[in-house]
Structure 1
């Protein structure tokens, strides 16, 4: 069995992709803290403006999510990665420059977040489509585990780095770290020797619409891919239902202070690292289908467990910790497997389109989930909303368990490149 560290050592092009992604993720964790603080502290943004700023990052997934997969497939993957990193570096560097010259305005932040979100869309879809060309298909599971481990580790440690840089440099200037991280990422990915394929349209003179439809059909037509996508979409929707009420529940219902909330957030982050480390051995033992379902069940149970917090002081601490362990471990376990299943079942010529379609569906539901979570929290209460969010995620797990995915015990090669 080849584990994540051995995959990094054995496949240098994948190692360069991994290094570039890790560095840029670390930089982006700074921007996630520094950019909202810039809007609030420097520009005195209103709640409505902050909402628009958050929505701007998701708009590219809704508008460009489907055609992005087609466009990415028509260029060498390495070139797309380099261009996306270069664009994000320039956009983010503009924020501290404008702030230091006194010219920064909210509309400029909207533009930066919107365009950087588009760059992130192209970068992520390309990286997910490129990985099967950088490692053998039988090594995709440990490769994806390595990427998930990187994400979880950066998510856990990045907020601490962000706090230090914002304190030392101020919020706008701290964003320089993210711009620099994309330059470093660009240098890593430019050294990848494999340029990646340039894919032909589904047919001579095929329209953009025809290529988009081919990607949708590839996903919907395969019962396993269809089940994974539907379950992941429900998981993302339920996750956003939960995310918008989580901090309110911890602070207003359980009366936790800032330190306790911070520790609970850290518990979920550490559990994400644990889930990424366990993903390969658990999947080898259970198979990708059952491991995917198990991860979704763990994640789905987390919300109701948290909602059940009550009793003596020991339980008031132990139950939320258990819930955070479930909420952190589950997504890492099913995230690694859903990505591996997509990569192994989809013909290479359609992979960028399938990945983009998946991202369009999964990310497109998240604003709706966040909106509904806020409405439910006000209408039926925070505990009930946590239970509903878990039920939605468990519904996704049930649909996956009832599909051919559950019986899948090993990765298989796609049928063909045909659309």
Structure 2
């Protein structure tokens, strides 16, 4: 994690110097975005895999909620405001501060020490590791179901929100300021979900929490598609964001408990790949539906798909048993355990 952040710091600081001294061609920020996206993927996967080493199993929901809340506060509130203010001073200053922030983040992560998840293991071909992660994900019925549901949910959510700017500004006549307030309300809803994730775990079962998240997302997006008030849109978008973060916290915590520690990074990669494919499909379908029918159609269809997904939630009941099990319990006696034959894993 700290090595990735140092690489990101060097790349961003180099770009900042280029912007302050000259005007780089458009292809350069495109390459910068690609490199930072790759770094973020590696960092998020590693941080998700390392969290069970930092907190106790019963604290996973609260910890993941705080992480989600921190990302929202930094990415939706502090970051945009600070970036806008610095851009007024000079185009390169936001990138310079961003580069310094990566250095500070690397120092903080390095101070945590080495996690047990990073214990050296015999080197193998990357393709073999990928196959192992794909195989475990597919053969574990609970995680496979979650991965498929996540892909469908990502597709439905981005199907709805890709056209949100046109729905609010063109159809509902929202001003740019009002549109910004709707986005801010979503950040508030997501941050609130992050803060309350631990308490929600103590009061509701796993399937109830997942069912609540899908209901909030589906009903809110459906309401956005048929509503006619910008104020109502702000409330609904906040509720939808609450549902998104609640879903994220529950499924991340669940994977951290169910997946063996040595496979957690590989299984997370498979899971995230399916989720990102859902985003690509949803965004593409949104543009097509918005052009062929109306900008309301994607939000309505996305909400309906999410509400229909509630029918699979009871199928996750078997995963409730992992709530009290140590995070990422592995079979120490077998140097290469077969997850299909592991009786400690729910199926």
Using structure 1 for the length normalisation, give the TM-score.
0.74
- Provide the C-alpha distance between the structure 1 equivalents of 2:70 and 2:49, rounded to a whole number of angstroms: 18
CA–CA separation in structure 2 for the residues paired with 1:355 and 1:304: 30
C-alpha deviation, 1:369, in angstroms? 1.6
Output the CA distance in 1 between the equivalents of 2:277 and 2:177. 33
Local SS of the residue matching 1:402: helix
Cα 1:219–1:378, aligned 2, differ >3 Å: closer, same or farther?
Answer: same
Question: 1:185 aligned to 2:185?
Answer: no
Q: 1:115 aligned to 2:28?
A: no
- 5+ residue gaps, structure 2, are 332-336, 339-347
Counterpart secondary structure, 1:365: helix
What's 2:7 paired with?
A: 87
C-alpha distance in 2 between matches for 1:140 and 1:377: 39
Contact kept, 8 Å, 1:156 with 1:270, in 2: the verdict is no
1:36-91 per-residue CA deviation (whole Å, 9 max, x = no partner) reads xxxxxxxxxxxxxxxxxxxxxxxxxxxxxxxxxxxxxxxxxxxxx11100110111
Is residue 2:247 matched to residue 1:326?
Answer: no
- Range that drifts further, 382-391 or 363-372: 363-372
Question: How far, CA to CA, are the matches of 1:165 and 1:405 in structure 2?
Answer: 51
State the match for 1:136 in structure 2: 56
CA distance in 2, matches of 1:385, 1:156: 24
| Residue number in structure 2 paired with 1:151 | 71
- Cα distance in 1, alignment partners of residues 256 and 113 from structure 2: 21
Q: For the residues of structure 2 that align with 1:86 and 1:267, how far apart are their CA atoms?
A: 33
Contact in 2 for aligned 1:293/1:406 (Cα 8 Å): no
| Separation in structure 2 between the aligned mates of residue 375 and residue 382 of structure 1, nearest angstrom | 10
> What is the aligned length?
331
Q: 2: distance between equivalents of 1:303 and 1:330? A: 11
* 1:285 corresponds to which of 186, 189, 203: 203
Residues 367-382 of structure 1 mapped to structure 2, 5 A cutoff: 367-382=280-295
Aligned-pair CA distance for 1:169:
2.5
Following the alignment from structure 1 to structure 2, what is the Cα–Cα distance between the partners of residues 225 and 394? 21
* Offset, 1:208: 2.7
CA contact (8 A) 1:291 1:337 kept: yes
The 5 Å alignment of 1:138-287 reads 138-157=58-77, 158-170=79-91, 172-198=92-118, 206-287=124-205
**Matched residue, 1:385:** 298
CA contact (8 A) 1:309 1:319 kept: yes
Q: Does 2:223 match 1:305? A: yes
SS in 1 for 2:22: coil
Q: Is the 8 A contact 1:225 1:342 kept in 2?
A: yes
Structure 1's consecutive aligned runs of 4 or more residues displaced over 4 angstroms after TM superposition are 405-409
Consecutive unaligned residues of structure 1, counting only runs of 5 or more, are: 1-80, 311-315
In structure 1, the partner of 2:254 is: 341
- Point out the more displaced range, 161-170 or 177-186: 161-170
Distance in 1 of aligned mates of 2:324 and 2:26: 48
Summarize deviations over 1:197-239 as a string: whole Å, max 9, x none.
34576xx775432321221222222222122222221121122
TM-score with structure 2 setting the length:
0.88
Q: CA deviation at 1:390?
A: 1.4
